[in-house]
Amino acid sequence: MNEVLNLENIVQQKVQHLCAKNPDYETLLRTIIQVDRKFENDQFGWEFKHVEDLSGGSLNSLVQHGIVKSSYKSNNYSHYRLSVSADELECILDDIELVRLEAEKKKMEAEQHRTKGDIINPELIVKFEKMLTDGTDMLEYWSKWINPKIEGLDHVKKALLLTIASHGDKFGDRGRIHCLMFGDPGSAKSALKDWIVYQLGAESCSQRTSKVGLTGCATGGEITPGALARSHNKVLAIDELDKFAREDRQALLESMEEGVVLIEVGGMTARFDAECRIIACANVVDSFSVELMDRFDFRIEMRTPSADTEKRIVCSVLDHWFESKEGYDGRDLGAYIQWIKSFEPVFPRDVRERAKLLIQMLIDLEESVRGSMRKKESVLRVAFTIAKLHKRNVEVRDFISAIKLLFPAMNGGKIAALTQLASIT
């Protein structure tokens, strides 16, 4: 009796394990139950041909795990039976199905709750539509709402806004924008990054707080995905990227470009989707590979503010110390990002042709653009996202704006030449 109960417990564990790995085993086993009952009075049992047309699962795997046993073997065929009764196996499958249905119910309830939280106030939508109709510069307007308690840093805030609002990948082309802020401590890198995490709900990761890092780890015979996989289709804010291990930075590089992360630990391998928009902070970037730096669309060096700027910042801090400031909660900006999230601008053919001329002239005028194709693709990504922020099709002027943002050191004469070309093409 004890041996029977022990066998049933072992089979239960094996079945639960297989069904968790591949739900198709549940369908296969339920069909085998019917076959086993059909051949209950057959002295030999059933043959492989009775289940070979079934999809999903593997009969050999069931035999190896002791769920199905070989009952008789002739010169031509092997015969099989279940190692426990069909009724017992059916009860095991019913329990598995009940647990699965409960999990799906909880997931659906959580999704419904999340969706309700994403419902945008109709009055806000009216406000957004009026702003678009009135011709409001949405990049200029909304960038100021990124941690409004921080004075200035307009260029940095625009880069961050474009990163947050950027589109996903499509047809092998990366639509996601990535931003790196590096330089002196006390230059507001963390303050901007933390606000995006706490007020806009971005994922967060740092070397000090994460045990699995950016990539992942193996514990208990299973792979636990890291921050990159958990942040699929989201914004991931990384603190002190320069302190992460080289392996983590290599995985980050793959995620930024390909949108996937390959984890190889403990003799196991797994591949996870990881289409993240990266906002990273670092004090120094000397140890970063050329390839990693090249994948950041915006690479912004931030310095300790000058004395005059510091005085202005202190005054602003005093004005709003322990007081609210319009937009600090991030609700309106978050609602606007949610409102335009699914919008995909059209890239008209005539605009594509005119953009070709602009970027060719940019290559002639600006030496720093040459060498890497990604620098030119950054212009496309930023122009596309500017159009998305305005919920309209891509226009030639978006390319001029993108060039100004990506190459702020370009002199006025070069910008004027590009602007003139844009106006006459």
CATH number of the CATH domain containing 13:
1.10.10
Q: Are residues 100 and 214 in the same domain?
A: no
Highest mean pLDDT among 21-35, 371-385, 386-400: 386-400
Q: How many CA atoms lie within 13 A of 31 on its CB side?
A: 16
Q: Is residue 273 part of a domain?
A: yes
Residue 105: predicted pLDDT: 63
Whole domain around residue 77: which residue ranges? 2-106
Q: Are residues 366 and 312 in the same domain?
A: no
Contact indicator for 133, 383 with CB cutoff of 8 Å? no
Q: Are residues 49 and 184 in the same domain?
A: no
Tell me which of 48, 75, 106 is where a domain ends: 106
Q: Are residues 297 and 395 in the same domain?
A: no
pLDDT at 314 over 80: no
Q: Are residues 91 and 231 in the same domain?
A: no
The pTM (predicted TM-score) of the whole model is 0.70
Average pLDDT in the chain: 84
Q: Are residues 330 and 403 in the same domain?
A: no
Q: Are residues 174 and 298 in the same domain?
A: yes
Distance CA 367, CA 363 (A): 7
Q: Match 């609002």 to its residue by tokens.
A: 165
Tell me which of 296, 317, 340 is where a domain ends: 340
Q: Each residue of 256-274: pLDDT tens digit? A: 999 988 877 667 778 888 9
Q: Are residues 374 and 398 in the same domain?
A: yes
- Bridge-partner residues for 299, per DSSP? 180
Distance CA 357, CA 13 (A): 65
Distance CA 220, CA 337 (A): 40
* Cβ burial, residue 181 (10 Å; 0-12/13-18/19+): buried
CATH number, position 135:
3.40.50.300
pLDDT at 8 over 80: no
Q: Each residue of 211-256: pLDDT tens digit? A: 567 877 766 667 777 889 889 999 999 999 998 888 888 889 999 9
Q: Are residues 131 and 198 in the same domain?
A: yes
Q: Are residues 97 and 191 in the same domain?
A: no
Distance CA 44, CA 297 (A): 68
Tell me which of 73, 106, 139 is where a domain ends: 106
Contact indicator for 288, 250 with CB cutoff of 8 Å? no
Q: Are residues 154 and 248 in the same domain?
A: yes
